[in-house]
């Protein structure tokens, strides 16, 4: 690949260019400041690759998402979530024996220490599950000081397994605490999704056996969310990890990053938006007009994506799944009809067409979660549970890479020039 040339005033610098597996070109500006004394400005890192990654590939123009080379459509239909978690971390699909051993290893770590319960009880019952999950994830590091060294591969492996095993328990317990019900322990005879559903919905007076449609759907939803390149939360995980913070702290940072409504929190916001439209009786046209109004901060939640400019392949799978799952469960939800109508109108509106704004993964996922019985404020923790293997894989990739440097962006200082301190009485 021919190098690139950067020109500034009289100076010129040759910059090496690299090509990724799928032909994407990256120009390395690593020597720019040292050579020419200038930095680049890139709002939202829209044009910046911090480094290389081999975990997932996204082509936003063509609507492609692959994990380790495997198309998301094939994984969503044929794989199990733990199989995908293995694939993302270790780079290859597991053999039957490897998958069995991995599932056993995860199963061994599903319990939380009994005293973790006190942590849950320190929160108000109204606490948002994302806040509880981030805090509990961070707290896990205090229980496993033996396995925190980011440079010890074996320790990282154990911590990664603990995280994947214990997160469903933490999520289910945050829910149980919120609804004043006793905690339900994991059942290691069940698969990952079924055990989680049981912890969520069983009560001592009545066991819960998940409908196979619900288990299958949850498995698919977790896979669809499992990784997505250098998104906001994965970047947060990597940034914290670049300082050699332990994996629990790094993942807790990712959970916080995911909680925002422009990122994972959008799935909750979509449902709230649809509910508001139904309750207010607003016309869809009024909502679309509001979303287009530059003076109104309202955005059509679940629409738009930094990378996808054609369609989000996850949203396509989910739109079809929403129809299928609701039919299979016998749920008639007016919010699904509303979402479809809203999508149809937005997709034919010039504003959305011009800006290439399409439904994203969060547009239909909430309707499915709702049909499965999850309350709205649990949607984003379900996203976190799915994204966990991606965060872990990217953190492991970064920690194992000898070329990793601590993330430390430059800035363009635009504050006051130097001035002298003015004593208090003279101000």
Which residues are designated catalytic? 305, 362
290 binds ligand CMC (CB under 6 A): no
Q: Which is nearer to ligand CMC, 129 or 186 (CB)?
A: 129
Residue nearest to ligand CMC (CB): 304
Q: Which is nearer to ligand CMC, 203 or 262 (CB)?
A: 262
315 binds ligand CMC (CB under 6 A): no
- Would you state the torsion angle of the CA atoms of residues 142, 145, 150, 156, taken in this order, to the nearest 10 degrees? -100
> What's the min distance (Å) between Cβ of 336 and ligand CMC?
18
**Binding residues among 168-227 for ligand CMC as defined by CB under 6 A:** none
Long-range contacts of 58-64 (CB under 8 A, 24+ apart): 58/228, 58/229, 58/307, 58/308, 59/22, 60/305, 60/306, 60/307, 60/308, 60/309, 60/310, 61/309, 61/310, 62/310, 63/308, 63/310, 63/311, 63/312, 63/313, 63/316, 64/313
379 binds ligand CMC (CB under 6 A): no
> What's the min distance (Å) between Cβ of 221 and ligand CMC?
13
- The CA distance from 162 to 44, in Å, is 32
User: Concatenated DSSP letters for 194-224?
Assistant: HHHHHHHH-BTTB-----HHHHHHHHHHHHH
> What's the min distance (Å) between Cβ of 287 and ligand CMC?
10
- The CA distance from 63 to 72, in Å, is 11
Interacting residue with ligand CMC among 129, 178, 264, 390 (CB under 6 A) = 264
- The CA distance from 296 to 290, in Å, is 6
- The CA distance from 186 to 195, in Å, is 6
> What's the min distance (Å) between Cβ of 302 and ligand CMC?
5
Q: Which is nearer to ligand CMC, 150 or 264 (CB)?
A: 264
360 binds ligand CMC (CB under 6 A): yes
**Binding residues among 113-172 for ligand CMC as defined by CB under 6 A:** none
Element (H, E) at 336: helix 334-347
84-92, 216-224, 356-364, 412-420 -> range binding ligand CMC (CB under 6 A): 356-364
**Binding residues among 386-405 for ligand CMC as defined by CB under 6 A:** none
355 binds ligand CMC (CB under 6 A): yes
Interacting residue with ligand CMC among 113, 216, 290, 306 (CB under 6 A) = 306
> What's the min distance (Å) between Cβ of 127 and ligand CMC?
22
Adjacency order of strands within the sheet including 56-59: 56-59, 64-67, 70-71
Instruction: Please give the size of the binding site for ligand CMC, defined by CB under 6 A.
Output: 20
Interacting residue with ligand CMC among 138, 230, 231, 242 (CB under 6 A) = 231
- The CA distance from 154 to 410, in Å, is 34
- The CA distance from 102 to 82, in Å, is 8
357 binds ligand CMC (CB under 6 A): yes
Element (H, E) at 6: strand 4-8
29-37, 73-81, 256-264, 330-338 -> range binding ligand CMC (CB under 6 A): 256-264
Interacting residue with ligand CMC among 129, 302, 386, 390 (CB under 6 A) = 302
Binding mask 34-53 for ligand CMC (x = CB under 6 A): ----------x---------
132-140, 148-156, 249-257, 260-268 -> range binding ligand CMC (CB under 6 A): 260-268
Residues whose CB is less than 8 angstroms from the CB of residue 1 and which lie 6 or more positions away in sequence, other chains included: 17, 18, 19, 25
- The CA distance from 239 to 233, in Å, is 10
The dihedrals phi and psi of 56, each to the nearest 5 degrees, come to -130, 155
> What's the min distance (Å) between Cβ of 357 and ligand CMC?
5
105-113, 194-202, 258-266, 406-414 -> range binding ligand CMC (CB under 6 A): 258-266
Bridge-based pairing state of the strands 17-19 and 25-27: antiparallel
Residues whose CB is less than 8 angstroms from the CB of residue 392 and which lie 6 or more positions away in sequence, other chains included: 85, 88, 89, 160, 163, 164, 247, 251
268 binds ligand CMC (CB under 6 A): no
Contact residues for ligand CMC (CB under 6 A)? 44, 231, 262-264, 266, 291, 299-306, 355, 357, 360-362
């Amino acid at each position: 690949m021919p190098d690139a040339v950067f020109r500034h005033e009289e100076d010129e610098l040759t910059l090496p260019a690299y090509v990724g597996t799928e032909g994407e070109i990256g120009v390395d500006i690593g020597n720019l400041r040292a050579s020419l004394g200038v930095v680049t400005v890139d709002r939202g890192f829209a044009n910046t690759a911090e480094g290389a990654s081999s975990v997932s590939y996204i082509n936003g123009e063509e609507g492609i998402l692959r994990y380790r080379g495997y198309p998301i459509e094939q994984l969503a239909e044929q794989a199990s979530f733990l199989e995908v978690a293995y694939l993302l971390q270790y780079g290859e699909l597991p053999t039957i024996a490897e998958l069995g051993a991995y599932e056993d290893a995860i199963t061994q770590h599903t319990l939380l220490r009994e005293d973790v319960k006190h942590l849950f009880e320190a929160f108000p019952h109204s606490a948002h599950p994302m806040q509880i999950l981030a805090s509990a994830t961070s707290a896990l590091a205090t229980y496993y000081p033996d396995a925190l060294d980011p440079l010890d591969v074996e320790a990282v492996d154990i911590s990664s397994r603990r995280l994947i095993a214990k997160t469903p328990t933490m999520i289910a317990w945050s829910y149980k605490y919120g609804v004043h019900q006793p905690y339900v322990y994991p059942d290691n005879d069940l698969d990952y999704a079924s055990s989680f559903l049981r912890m969520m919905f069983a009560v001592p007076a009545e066991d819960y056996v998940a409908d196979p449609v619900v288990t299958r759907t949850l498995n698919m939803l977790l896979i669809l969310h499992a990784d997505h390149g250098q998104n906001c939360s994965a970047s947060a995980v990597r940034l914290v990890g670049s300082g050699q913070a332990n994996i629990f702290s790094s993942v807790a940072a990712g959970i916080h990053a995911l909680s925002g409504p422009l990122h994972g929190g959008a799935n909750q916001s979509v449902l709230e938006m649809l509910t508001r439209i139904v309750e207010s009786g607003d016309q869809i046209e009024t909502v679309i007009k509001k979303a287009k109004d530059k003076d109104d901060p309202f955005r059509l939640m679940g629409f738009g994506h930094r990378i996808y400019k054609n369609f989000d392949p996850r949203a396509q799978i989910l739109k079809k799944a929403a129809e299928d799952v609701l039919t299979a469960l016998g749920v008639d939800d007016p919010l699904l009809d509303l979402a479809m109508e809203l999508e149809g109108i937005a997709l034919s509106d010039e504003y959305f067409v011009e800006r290439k704004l399409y439904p994203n993964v969060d547009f239909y996922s909430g309707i499915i979660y709702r049909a499965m019985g999850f309350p709205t404020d649990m949607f984003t923790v379900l996203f976190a549970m799915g994204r966990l293997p991606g965060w872990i894989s990217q953190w492991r990739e970064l920690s194992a890479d000898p070329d990793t440097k601590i993330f430390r962006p430059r800035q363009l200082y635009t504050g006051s020039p130097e001035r002298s301190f003015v004593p208090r009485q003279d101000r």
